[in-house]
Structure 1
């Protein structure tokens, strides 16, 4: 059997009931300033931030991009040599009646 998804309202009600149970058991809620919980000894914890290393220069790859663009242009260029197919032409007599078929290139 598939469990029904919990809605936001259900989740909110569950959290409120958990907080109420905590307070009824003489639990205390400590108020902290916004962003204060992310501080370690009054400072932001920068050990996990990846800005410790100096900025690295990027390797220019303009020639690689130009080669890719050139290949793309060559691939998309229309073919200039189009082989013409022979066409079937009707030869009529003086009265407009078809006599025979002739292939023309």
Structure 2
């Protein structure tokens, strides 16, 4: 059985009930200024930003792109279908079937 997705309304209610339980257990909520939690020593944490490395030279691949474009514009060739052997019946002089043979 697939569990139905929770709606935003249900999620909000659950969070509110969790906060109410925390407060009832004598928990305190500390107010923090907006953006303050993302700062380390008053500065933004830039260790995860990927701009620390020097710019690398790119390898030109124009010939690869040209080959791909050429393949797009040429119609694909269909492989030759192998002819399947055909089952043929052999009759005698009186029209009675004798045997089956395979012809290519």
TM-aligned CA deviation for residue 15 of structure 1: 0.8
Consecutive aligned runs of 4 or more in structure 1 exceeding 6 Å deviation:
none
Q: Distance in 1 between matches of 2:25 and 2:69?
A: 70
Q: Structure 1, unaligned stretches of length 5 or more?
A: 78-105
1:6 aligns with 2:6: yes
Task: Indicate the residue corresponding to 2:67 in structure 1.
Answer: 67
Query: Could you say which structure has the larger radius of gyration?
Result: 1
Aligned length: 76
Q: Which residue of 1 aligns with 2:99?
A: none
Taking the TM superposition and a 5 Å limit, the aligned residue runs for 1:1-105 are 2-73=2-73, 75-76=74-75
Q: TM-score, normalised by structure 1?
A: 0.58
CA distance in 2, matches of 1:5, 1:72: 43
Could you tell me which runs of 5 or more consecutive residues in structure 2 were left unpaired when the two chains were aligned: 77-104
Give the CA deviation at 1:69.
2.0
**TM-score for both structures, normalised by structure 2:** 0.59
